[in-house]
Amino acid sequence: MTTAILFGTFFVLIAIGVPIGIALGTASLAAIAYIPFLNFDLYGLGLISGMDSFTLIAVVLFTVAGNIMSQGGISRRLVAVADHLFGRAPGDLGTVTIIACLFFAAISGTGSATVAAIGLAMIPALVDRGYDRAYSAAMVASAGGLGVMIPPSVVMIVYAVAAGVSVTALFLAGVLPGLVVALTLIVYNISQRRLIAGDLPLPARHDWREKIRVLNQAKLALLMPLVVLGGIYAGIVTPTESSAVAVVYALIVSVFVYRELPLSRLPGMLLESALLVSAVLVIIGASVAFGRIIALEQIPLALAQFVTEVTQNRYVVIMAAIVLLLIVGTFLETLAAIVILTPVLLPVLTRLGVDPVHFGIIMIVALAIGFVTPPLGANLFMAAQVGQISFDKVARRILPWVITMIVALLIIAFVPWLSLGLPRLLLDYGP
């Protein structure tokens, strides 16, 4: 009965449009009120302990860093480099857009920041090059999902906290899967570009001097992922400390070197980042009490026993988990889905021999597809806004991109080496 109250209250509140954090908290309080041996202190303790995590400081600081980069000239220079190096490749500016998202993802750590920063620069350019506006917005929304797949990633940090795994191992595990997703998106765009605009001329060829000039102008922007990630993998800073390095580096480059970010705009940017992150932290805190009730009711154990009684085939269970994650990602915010579903699904998968880091990458990629799937589709809303097009038009063009990303997800899920190869090579992780 407690389980029915907990999940019933939660889904009813979500269905009527109550914010995720409030729905989690209300459902937890309703379940606590029903259980005679619990009192409401459990919820208060869960709320505070969920937010009182040193690791979660990285969520705040990477959000600030992404905001600074998008407004301080760093993202624009990354786009220019991608255009000069890959602008005449098959798929031309579409390939450039996806690679620019890949570059920016390696710094920003969030999907929405990637869509906003790259979309503002690239969607008008794509339209000028002959691409359909809705197609262009759908492409940017899909490639923006790389923001949570390529390290450093805010979503990876939250999963690491929820699952109790190494953030560094998870960062390394995300590199090759992120490249796989980017490659599949590029291949799809190439096939479509030839169909819809194959007769349009390629952009002017840049000579090597021009390429060197653009690379020189963007050298500090290109150094940023090396500084941030290099410090982590060299053992100089922790992933949490690296988020502070990212903020300081972005601030120095944007304010004092590029001089495109006046100091007077910083208070407004910090307030904007704080408002965005505060909602995330409330969800995380509320989900801890929610997760404790799930644990008290032994829901993960019961689910694990049920699944293992039905089948012992790990691949069947992985497929079932992927389907569940794709459905949940359509309706539930990604960070909330991670903190709710990790304690439920992870024991089932690990019992069947699935590595928790590998499953973390599967979960993150599957939920990232939810970024571009209506009705939630946060990246779709952002792409529609920056692309100055209605949400409905973008949503109608997103299905092929979703299918393309699902193909990449299946490759990642059933080739564990893509996730575990680098952690085992560089960290001596696992067996």
- Tell me the per-residue pLDDT of 180-199, one tens digit each, with 9 for 90 and over: 999 999 999 888 866 655 54
Binned at pLDDT 50, 70 and 90, residue 333 comes out as: low
Q: Is residue 387 part of a domain?
A: yes
What pLDDT score does 183 carry? Answer: 93
Give the containing element (helix H, strand E) for 219: helix 219-233
**Secondary structure letter of residue 109 according to DSSP:** -
Rounded Cα–Cα distance for residues 81 and 222 (Å): 9
pTM to 2 decimal places: 0.71
Q: How many helices (H) and strands (E) in the chain?
A: 24, 0
On average, the pLDDT of the chain sits at 79
Rounded Cα–Cα distance for residues 396 and 400 (Å): 10
Helix%, strand%, coil% for the chain, nearest 5: 80, 0, 20
Q: Is residue 219 part of a domain?
A: yes
Q: Is residue 43 part of a domain?
A: no
What pLDDT score does 426 carry? Answer: 82
What pLDDT score does 6 carry? Answer: 80
Q: Is residue 16 part of a domain?
A: no
Count of domains forming the chain: 1
- Which range in 51-55, 340-344, 374-378, 404-408 is most confidently predicted, on average pLDDT? 404-408
- Tens-digit pLDDT profile for residues 220-270: 877 877 777 777 767 787 767 777 888 888 888 888 888 888 888 888 888
Q: Is residue 122 part of a domain?
A: yes
Residue 319 has pLDDT above 80, yes or no: yes
The mean per-residue pLDDT over the stretch 207-229 comes to 75
Q: Is residue 11 part of a domain?
A: no
4-8, 34-38, 86-90, 224-228: least confident range: 86-90
**Secondary structure letter of residue 387 according to DSSP:** T
Residue with tokens 């906003």: 116
Name every residue whose Cβ is closer than 8 Å to that of residue 400 and which is 6 or more positions away in sequence: 188, 192
- The residue ranking higher by pLDDT, 102 or 63, is 102
What pLDDT score does 390 carry? Answer: 82
Residue 384 has pLDDT above 90, yes or no: no
Rounded Cα–Cα distance for residues 192 and 427 (Å): 40
Q: Could you tell me the two tokens for 15?
A: 């269905």
Q: Is residue 77 part of a domain?
A: yes
Considering all CA atoms of the chain, what is the largest pairwise distance in Å, rounded to the nearest integer?
75
Give the residue numbers spanning the domain of 127: 53-289+299-427
Instruction: Identify whether the C-beta of residue 371 lies closer than 8 Å to the C-beta of residue 334.
Output: yes
What pLDDT score does 207 carry? Answer: 63
The mean per-residue pLDDT over the stretch 41-53 comes to 71
Q: Is residue 30 part of a domain?
A: no
- Percentage of the residues of the chain whose pLDDT score is greater than 90: 11
